[in-house]
């Protein structure tokens, strides 16, 4: 039976939302610290992209051509854009399901990551099969780097909660 580890800190979302109310710029500072802490995971994802590099830079040769859909530019795939697109996000919105996560913001790289994970299709089959709900490089790299960053991220989150509690009381 596979083991699952999920870190939950009660009140963190509310604390992060309150940071700018207490002192302007504190939320930016927390996001910057979280990005520094998550740097090993971000580098692991970027190394995964460079490790799959083909001679022309794209996972499939057709990804080098301009593709548009509904007037939105989807491709060409660009390795530098894919590397720059790996970012840490802090989302303390009411409807957010994840508070701190690593995402791919480049559209072509995001399509590469997720093609064929929900429905079988030709693009996904050409890129290689992946487990349902998984990604090709992003997820495995982040889960592999998770033990390195989890403890330090928890300390930073608890520091934010303590600071907000201190300022409000």
pLDDT in tens, the chain (169 residues): 344 444 555 577 787 777 777 777 888 888 888 899 999 999 999 988 887 765 556 777 778 878 888 888 888 888 889 899 999 988 877 777 778 888 899 998 888 888 778 878 787 777 777 777 788 888 888 888 888 888 898 888 888 888 878 877 7
Query: Which range marks the domain in which residue 64 is found?
Result: 12-168
pTM here is 0.77
Residue 68 inside a domain? The answer is yes
Q: Which two tokens stand for residue 119?
A: 């429905």
Rg of the Cα atoms in the chain:
19
Q: How far is CA 101 from CA 96, 114, 123, 130, in A?
A: 11, 16, 26, 21
* 51-to-20, 134, 136 alpha-carbon distances in Å: 40, 19, 12
Half-sphere exposure of 12 (CA within 13 A, CB side): 19
Domains in the chain, number? 1
Supply φ then ψ for residue 48, to 5 degrees. -65, -40
Question: Torsion angle of alpha carbons 54, 70, 132, 140, nearest 10°?
Answer: 40
The answer to the question of residue 6 being in a domain is no
Rounded CA-CA distance 129/87 in Å is 25
Asked whether residue 4 is domain-assigned, the answer is no
Tell whether 42 is covered by a domain: yes
Q: Is residue 3 part of a domain?
A: no
> What pLDDT was estimated at residue 5?
46
Look at residue 59 and tell me if it is in a domain. Answer: yes
Cβ partners under 8 Å of residue 158, min gap 6: 9
Query: Could you tell me if residue 34 is inside a domain?
Result: yes
Asked if the structure places residue 157 within a domain, the reply is: yes
Cα(49)–Cα(137) distance, integer angstroms: 7
């Amino acid at each position: 039976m596979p083991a699952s580890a999920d870190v939950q800190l009660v009140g963190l979302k509310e604390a992060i939302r309150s940071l700018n109310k207490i002192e302007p710029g504190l939320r930016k500072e927390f996001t910057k610290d979280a990005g520094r802490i998550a740097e090993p995971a971000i580098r692991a994802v970027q190394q995964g992209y460079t490790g799959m590099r083909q001679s022309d830079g794209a996972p499939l040769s057709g990804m080098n051509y301009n593709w548009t859909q509904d007037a939105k530019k989807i491709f060409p795939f660009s390795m530098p854009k894919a590397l720059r697109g790996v970012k840490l996000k802090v989302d303390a919105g009411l409807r957010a399901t994840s508070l701190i996560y690593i995402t791919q913001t480049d559209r072509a790289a995001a399509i590469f990551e997720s093609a064929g994970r929900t429905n079988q299709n030709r693009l996904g089959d050409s890129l290689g099969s992946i487990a349902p709900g998984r990604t090709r490089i992003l997820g495995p790299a982040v889960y592999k780097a998770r033990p390195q960053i989890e403890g330090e991220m928890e300390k930073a989150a608890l520091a934010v909660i303590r600071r907000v509690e201190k300022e409000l009381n």
